[in-house]
Amino acid sequence: MSIRDESRPFLDVRDLKVHFATDDGVVKAVDGLSFSLERGQRLGIVGESGSGKSVSSMAIMGLHRRAQITGEIWLGGEQLVGADPEQVRRLRGRRMAMIFQDPLSALHPFYTVGQQIVEAYRLHHDVSKKVARKHAVDLLGRVGIPQPSSRVDDHPHNFSGGMRQRAMIAMALANDPDLLIADEPTTALDVTVQAQILDLILDLQAEFDSAVLLITHDLGVVAEVADDVLVMYAGRAVEHGPTSELFAAPAHPYTWGLLGSVPRFDGGTGRLVPIPGNPPSLLNPPPGCPFHPRCRYRELTGGRAETERPQLRAIGPAHSVACHLDDAQRRRIVSEEVPTWL
Amino acid sequence: MLAYVARRIVAAVVLLGIVTVATFAVFFLVPRLAGATPQDLAARYVGRAAGEAQIQAAAERLGFTDPLYVQYGRFVKGLVAGAEYDTGASVEQCPAPCLGYSFITQNPVLPDLLDRLPVTLSLALGAAVLWLVSGVAIGVLSALRRGSAFDRAAMGVALAGVSLPIFFTGLLTLSIFSYGLGITAPGGSFTRLDENPLLWAYDLLLPWITLAFLYSAAYARLTRAGMLDTMGEDFIRTARAKGLPERTVVVRHGLRAALTPILTLFGLDLGLLLGGAILTESTFSLPGIGKYSVDAVVQNDLPKVLGVVLIGSMFIILANLVVDVLYAVVDPRVRAG
Amino acid sequence: MRRTRRLAAVALGAVAAMALGACGGPSTGGSGGGTGGGGDTAKAEANAGIGGIANPSDAKGGTLRMANSSDWDSLDPADTYYAYAWNFARLYGRSLVGFKAAPGKEGAELVPDLAESLGTPNADATQWTYRLKPGIKFEDGSVITSRDVKYAIARSLDKDTFPNGPTYFNDYLDLQGYEGPYKNPNLDAFTAVETPDDRTLVFKLRTAFAGFDYLAGLINTIPVPQAADTGARYKEKVVSSGPYKFETNELGKRFTMVRNPNWDASTDPIRKALPDRIEVAVNANADDVDNRLFSGDLDVAIEGTGVQPAAQGRVLADQALKANSDNGLAGFTWFTVLDDSVAPLDNVHCRRAVLLAADRTGYQRAYGGATGGDLATNLMGTNIPGAQQFDLYPSSGGTGDVAKAKDELNQCGQPNGFTTSISFRAERPKEKAAAEALQQSLARAGIQLEIKPFPAGDYAKLYAGKPDYSVANKLGLKVYGWQADWPDGFGFLAQVVDRRVIKAGGGNTNLGIRIPELDARIDQALGETDKAKRDAIWTGIDRTVMENASVLPGVWAKGLLYRPPNLTNVFVTGAWGMYEYTALGTTRR
């Protein structure tokens, strides 16, 4: 029996928590994440490794096997958290599909690209192998693979890196999914190929009118693709807003750090300033603001950073941030300090 | 492809040459280093109170008085062109490939081997099917339920299976199931498949299970380790992301990838076993190649030993070839390379 | 999901069954013994088959199931040299004379079989005459003539074709260069055996041989029809003259025998021929053979040497099993030869010191204690008719007399003892244990032994039986054993103590006993036709060997034989030291 609510946004994530029980204690990989996404929209989730961005996307796909998941995930009006795993499985690949970071390891080495696409297609469509194969050839053509009718019988190792990711995308799109999750889709690729793949995702998204969730640690990619950006830190959103606004007026010290970490190729004066320190332990997160040990402005909060956990609050019509700094402080820092290292 | 096959055949012939020469050398050179004369060697093949003249005659009849290379040449000639044998009453033809005549029973070796081959084939193939299926099944389940009671029990039994010798488990199962409960055939039972398939299986059931127990243990452990590796691979996540049912994910994606090392081991194990399941055949008194080879070695019966070595090597070479081909079938990356 | 679970259940079941098997073993195995269904005969009793007949019966029928844990050297009577093979061959072949089928020493007596009576010698025992009973037939119905017996002996001379069989006829017949029918098809050239008519055979010998009846009792005299002879292949289809003929014969695997309709019981004083059918498996696993005997799945272990060490303890501990066992003399004497060419053992006092210092109970323990054999005090065991037991080196409990040993060492000129080597067959753990026991007990008198194992196959040919190797490597003591080809002084002693049989090239069965005065006495025994006098000469030879301290006697071996309750008419015969196979029957129908 599934719970339905047609009034919700297409993808609606509410207070999602993904916890893992380990021998050392509970790891709170995602700890209260909320966002929503409509069809035709592209949301970028950024953060360092371990920030919980991939865990969240896997939770949406229902791919966690030993996790305690609470909260709500609504897809097309259907609640996925707590739903029958079999029901979620039937949604996978059909209504939501996923593209992974390293297409070489994500594609099965022993099956041809065609076989893997056909398998995905026939799983949700009762068609003959012949029809499915033709569909696979079409898809490969659509994602820009030359001579698709012969390449369909090649194995992944016969493809170049970029071609492999195109094949991966073709496989993900086999069933016209409404939601496409791309988890670091370009990280493993050459810089020149990265742009082509992003373009392809954009084109196809426009064509299929699907919702795209882009997981990346690369703000440059987000800037190019996403309508909205959600910055995650230690399992939570620390900033969320329209891409243009977030880049024009980043509000969270962590976002500033991320922006400072982006290598620049425009010959500007900026230099790379990595965020000092390491991401916090999710087993024993620091009290108060989880970012405070690395935050160079924590003294400005009058001790609240060490004791009180900041909640996400609106600072603009669609822009929100979880930070104890008040607007004045933030404006001063943005105007005086941030640009010097951006 | 043709060049590849030719290369393999040449390599096989060279290898067979090396193993037969080595067997010859061990047989003749080791006693010779201890000071043995051809007559001393021949004295192994006469009755207990034979005189010197009889021993001399035996040395000449068995050809020990000729130089080693002449004796080896005679062996090769028999293989290629056949040989003759004087049974006293008549002269027998031994057509090529003639593996010679036993020093002790005076029977031609090749018909003996061919006569025993079905036993070993039946035993090895039947057990192989059992151990592959049960070993892989247990290994997969153990991997999927890692740390569970099933996993711990299965791996405990597997450890026992690997460490318990077959002459122990074999005798134990015989005394329980054959002599105690009377539900399986007693030791020494064998019926040919073409005579009575049902009886064939009934007679071999216990040897199969005992042999399979030993091997399936190793396969279960190997499969478990392989599956634990494979199920953590990215392509398994991809398979799940496609919405595949878990069973398909495990079997078609996980097991398929974990199968390569298992197949390699399987080919080599089977090849070795086809050359004679020595312990199992001895324990269950089965007249196969393995029992034949034990008797040959114990009795210093060189032609028999050579025959067993040849047939054993051929099976191993063949098994290697099959494994290579299977490798290419299973793993397309090998095909490209 | 459901399917995976079901698969798990099946696999778990299989594993559980295996685990059960592994733990449930001993208890189940232990109770296997009582089953097998005996007759309603008298209560079984241990050693009932020794000196008497266990489960006596004349009831015919049933199938006798036998197994051999190794294989015959050959089923061809011309080509076999195992005691059990000679015992068994009587089921399908009749020789001129043969051992009586009777318990104990009586079973070591010869009685006529094909012949009407025992042999008639000429005055100096160099010519022996036998006359066949009339009308005895081969399995095909043709009458057996003296020429069939002559042909069988003639072919057995060809050691190129039959390398395994005994060579007594080669050695003692006056062959005049005749080499057998394959090299010389003219049987008339074989003048050493004459056939003046269809029923008479006259043997002409090179030297006197008073015990020739034992040769006439060899399986070599089992007749072979010349037309059926296929040389080395004859073993595949031996033509029967006994109560059973071959039905099937898969060499090296199994064979079956059925009644020979042309065998006439009225002409046969030896064989009872109770079962209708005999099934024999060869190359069976020895431990499995024991288990099958206990479970009633098998009737006879053909080799007749007793159950394996693994099963011995079980038989002795389980009253039901023990009641069906016989622990009798098996014919072997296990002893250690003192090579008199290896100094200082060339001095009789040093040899006596060894015999005195040795703890013979340790020797006996090495061979399995009282079950494995009796303490031997001289060479010939009491199972041999006419043999006597005597002890020239007595000590309390057989544990050795170190003081006397030291006294002998003084006389030898080695007051502090000496060092030599002891050899044994590496594959035989009992010989190893015996060597180690001797090493310990001799050290008490200062005699140090270096232990040297050698491969059994080449023991006599290359090492212990090769005189120059023995001297060069100081093999003073050699663990060994011997069983007579037939139970009399000649059969036992001739090959072991006659210095004239020692070959310089090796392959000797006399491992180093050289007593010149024995030569004449052995020859005298060969010509002595009076059995009692002959036995006395052999006993004297045995005594001289002991006086000379050439041999350290170990044990007179005993086997622990098991007879399943369904086996009838069971007894150990003095001829072979195992069950008499021609007498056995079974209640299993």
Q: What is the pTM of this model?
A: 0.81
Q: What is the mean pLDDT of residues C389-408?
A: 94
pLDDT in tens, C202-212: 999 999 999 99
What pLDDT is recorded for position A273? Answer: 57
- Segment (H or E) for B84: strand B83-86
Dihedral angle sign, alpha carbons of residues A6, A10, A16, A19: positive
The answer to whether B44 contacts C155, with C-beta atoms less than 8 Å apart, is no
Percent of chain B with pLDDT over 70: 99
What pLDDT is recorded for position B1? Answer: 64
Closest alpha carbon to C224 in C176, C173, C187, C175: C187
Closest alpha carbon to C262 in C389, C383, C143, C438: C143
The answer to whether B87 contacts C11, with C-beta atoms less than 8 Å apart, is no
Give the confidence band of B336 by pLDDT, cuts at 50, 70, 90: low
pLDDT in tens, C533-578: 999 999 999 999 999 999 999 999 999 999 999 999 999 999 989 9
Percent of chain A with pLDDT over 70: 94
Picking from A138-142, A283-287, B80-84, C359-363, which range would have the lowest pLDDT averaged per residue? Answer: A283-287
Q: What is the mean pLDDT of residues C487-494?
A: 89
Closest alpha carbon to B312 in B267, B282, B278, B271: B271
Tokens of C385: 């008719």
The answer to whether B161 contacts C18, with C-beta atoms less than 8 Å apart, is yes
The answer to whether A91 contacts B238, with C-beta atoms less than 8 Å apart, is no
Tell me the DSSP string of C66-114: EE-SS--S-SSGGG---HHHHHHHTTT---SEEE---SBGGGGSEEESS
Tokens of B6: 């030719």
Q: Going by C-beta distance under 8 Å and a sequence separation of 6 or more, which residues neighbour residue B6? A: none
Give the confidence band of A91 by pLDDT, cuts at 50, 70, 90: very high
Query: Rounded distance, CA B218 to CA B134, Å?
Result: 11
Residue C5: pLDDT over 80 = no
| Contacts B40 to C, Cβ<8 Å | 458, 461-462, 505-507
Report residue C292 CA to chain centroid gap.
23
Residue of B nearest to A175 (CA): B242
| Binding partners of A (≥3 Cβ pairs within 8 A) | B
What pLDDT is recorded for position B52? Answer: 78
The answer to whether C32 contacts B180, with C-beta atoms less than 8 Å apart, is yes
Which stretches of C100-218 are assigned E, i.e. beta strand? 110-112, 120-121, 127-131, 193-194, 200-204
| Contacts C256 to B, Cβ<8 Å | none
Tell me the DSSP string of B115-174: HHHHHHHHHHHHHHHHHHHHHHHHHHHHHHTTTSHHHHHHHHHHHHHHHS-HHHHHHHHI
Residue C288: pLDDT over 50 = yes
Residue C362: pLDDT over 90 = yes
Q: What is the mean pLDDT of residues B120-142?
A: 93
| Contacts C164 to B, Cβ<8 Å | 46-47, 104
Picking from A51-55, B268-272, C23-27, C122-126, which range would have the lowest pLDDT averaged per residue? Answer: C23-27
Q: What is the mean pLDDT of residues C431-447?
A: 96
Picking from A50-59, A326-335, C134-143, which range would have the lowest pLDDT averaged per residue? Answer: A326-335
The answer to whether C15 contacts B138, with C-beta atoms less than 8 Å apart, is yes
Residue A221: pLDDT over 90 = no
3-state helix, strand, coil in chain A (%, to 5): 40, 20, 40
Contact of B310 with B75, CB cutoff 8 Å: no
| Contacts B242 to A, Cβ<8 Å | 92-93, 97, 119-120, 123, 171
What pLDDT is recorded for position B7? Answer: 84
Q: What is the mean pLDDT of residues A89-109?
A: 91
The answer to whether B134 contacts C287, with C-beta atoms less than 8 Å apart, is no
Paired strand residues for A228: A43, A242
pLDDT in tens, B247-265: 899 999 999 889 888 988 8
Give the confidence band of B87 by pLDDT, cuts at 50, 70, 90: confident
| Contacts B253 to A, Cβ<8 Å | 108
What pLDDT is recorded for position C410? Answer: 96
Q: Looking at mean pLDDT, say which of A144-148, A276-280, B21-25, C258-262 comes out highest.
A: C258-262
Residue of C nearest to B60 (CA): C160
Site of tokens 């049912």: B245
Q: Going by C-beta distance under 8 Å and a sequence separation of 6 or more, which residues neighbour residue C17? A: none
The answer to whether C485 contacts B31, with C-beta atoms less than 8 Å apart, is no
Residue A167: pLDDT over 50 = yes
> At residue A28, what are phi and psi to the nearest 5 degrees?
-95, 85
Residue C280: pLDDT over 50 = yes
Residue A240: pLDDT over 90 = yes
What pLDDT is recorded for position C29? Answer: 32
Choose between B321 and B101: higher pLDDT.
Answer: B101
pLDDT in tens, C84-112: 999 999 999 999 999 999 999 899 999 99
- Count Cβ atoms within 10 A of the Cβ of residue C101 and give its class: 0-12 exposed, 13-18 middle, 19 or more buried: buried
Contact of C334 with C481, CB cutoff 8 Å: yes
pLDDT in tens, B156-175: 888 888 888 888 889 888 98
Question: ipTM more than 0.90?
Answer: no
Closest alpha carbon to C308 in C369, C375, C363, C372: C372
- Segment (H or E) for A32: strand A25-37
Residue A324: pLDDT over 60 = yes
Report residue A249 CA to chain centroid gap.
22
Choose between A195 and C583: higher pLDDT.
Answer: C583
What average pLDDT does chain C have?
A: 90
What average pLDDT does chain B have?
A: 88
| Contacts B332 to A, Cβ<8 Å | 109-110, 112, 155, 157
Q: How many CB atoms lie within 10 A of CB B198?
A: 8
Choose between B52 and B103: higher pLDDT.
Answer: B103
